[in-house]
Structure 1
Amino acid sequence: MDREKLINTARRVIEDESRALTVLAETIGDNLAQAAELILNAPGRVIVSGMGKSGHIGKKITATLASTGTPAHFVHPAEASHGDLGMITKGDVVLILSNSGETPELADLIAHTRRFGITMIGIASRRESSLMQQADVQLLLPQLGEACGHGVVPTISTTMTLALGDALAVALMEHREFGAEHFRQFHPGGKLGARLSKVRDLMHKDDTIPLIAESAAMGDALLTISQKGFGVVGVLNSDGYLCGIVTDGDLRRHMDGLLDHTAGEVMTKSPRTIGPDALAEEAVAVMNEKKITCLFVEDPVQSGRVVGILHIHDCLRAGVV
């Protein structure tokens, strides 16, 4: 087996596809803006369709659109001809993918959009093709062949189609000002959902928060630390606002005559806190930087009013690392 030949072929494919994407980027213009405007103004959804490899790419584009704020659904062209055309309504925008623009299985779907005045966007590499001639907006792919060298294995064409779909989805996302909070609503699970979790989603609240008065005896402070199980206790001033924290380090520093002190005498003043709307990932970074295991959560409006406590273990259990 010629391993060097295998490596060189793989590199050539990636280089060919990379050059194709550069050419594609240079062709982006008003047509993409027109397609985006049609989608933004549509009262319905984006219906994506394609056959074969274009269908696989279409499913990925559908998923990207749906997860970034643009309602989208994939309709298989063969199924469309057997009843699924009823899933497409006049308020929808249909996005059809076909490198040649002449895929026979798309004929009924294209005819349906023309018959009922449904907006259609075509993505193909031949401007004179049936798909592009019927489309309301044409997104033309450069004709750059395929990476196989014989023009028969969809490689460069599918890579460009996928990139064009991503470009359209992200352009729509930015126009809608679709941010991390919106993104998390569609990605509550897995690593991505964990990264986008907020402190308020993981923190402990109400009676579980370890808090004592500044004037409380250290015996009471030790009891609270033991009962709540966080290894720390927050210290409140006479107005009920956080003014300090008692940690293991504070206990060690005041070991001699510890029970003769009040919490206010032992505490570390002005502890580091975090807001409930901060990302849990940010809280982990703070805890790692300060070499601490807990953060008290402050009300974003009333500085010093404690609304929760977050332990590093809460973040680890949620997958935030």
Structure 2
Amino acid sequence: MKPPARQAPTTDFASAAMVRVLAQGMRELGLNPDAAMPRAADQRATVSIDEKRLLVRSAIEQGGWGCLALLGRGLHGYAQEPTHIALASARDARDLFNRWARLEQYIHSRHRIDLLSLADGGARIAHRARAGLPPPLLAEGLVVLGVLVAFLEAVGATQLTAWVGDVPVYPAPDPHALARLAQQGSPVEWRMAWAPASAWRETPPMAAAPPPHLEPPQTWPVHAQQCFSTLSKDLMAPLTLPALAEAQGEAPRSLQRNLSRAGLSYTHVLSEARCRSASWWLLKSPAPIAEVGFVSGYADQPHFTRDFRTRVGLTPLRFRTEFAATA
């Protein structure tokens, strides 16, 4: 069975962090990704979908269809990358799937996961294309499924198994059945199973993105600073206003009034936390600028650039150029 032919060039993008994970996964399986690795992938937040497909094609040529869902294990070598931190700090399976969907939205991916059902011991997921676009290739689905499995392991899930249709793909894939499935066309549904949450492995707390030492504005009253610090703990999935009020030990209306007295609001505090998070990553890390926006909780890169420039007076690129060398 031949690997899928390369598609015509597109302007769609894939996560460069995911591509780096796949390359590392290939190395761990004894495969060589170097000839197919996108140029400067370690310095970019996105790569073209054709660049990702070239790497996946190389993996099939070297390791067969069965290797694809195992490539996600390469993410464990990138535990300190911003995107890994943002995803692996998920509280549970639902939170992880929501964070992944935000990543797809942020990079304007042509493919999206659709959570069909979720129970304590597993999930059913459809892997779809955006409206008007062709469905994802089987190979593309397998690598995404493998990365999600690896992230579930990172947040503590145990006894993980996964299928595409009725074909097992993790941890013991059936390469011959996958090759036949590729000839028939990619099924849209995945199944995943894991041990109940009570049996999940205890994992060391991930350093949330942004880092926990992010300082609130010192001119704010103590109450507002506390709100800032609480929201900053996880900007990928920040507490809602009611949840923040509960964490502060007050009613939502009371929290709103207290912030209003200082000329602030929940939205203002959250935006300030995101801006300061982005500033930290821009000055203290080599992470690509688009990735900085993602881990700081922005909806997409234009939103990041627009909000940062409004608050700081400089674009993220100009801010890093002017100040990173002296930080």
The TM-score, its normalising length taken from structure 1, stands at 0.25
Q: Which has the higher strand share?
A: 1
If each structure's helix is expressed as a fraction of its own residues, which one has the higher value? 2
TM-score by length of 2: 0.24
Q: Which has the higher contact order (CA 8 A, sep 6+)?
A: 2
- Please identify the structure whose Cα radius of gyration is greater: 1
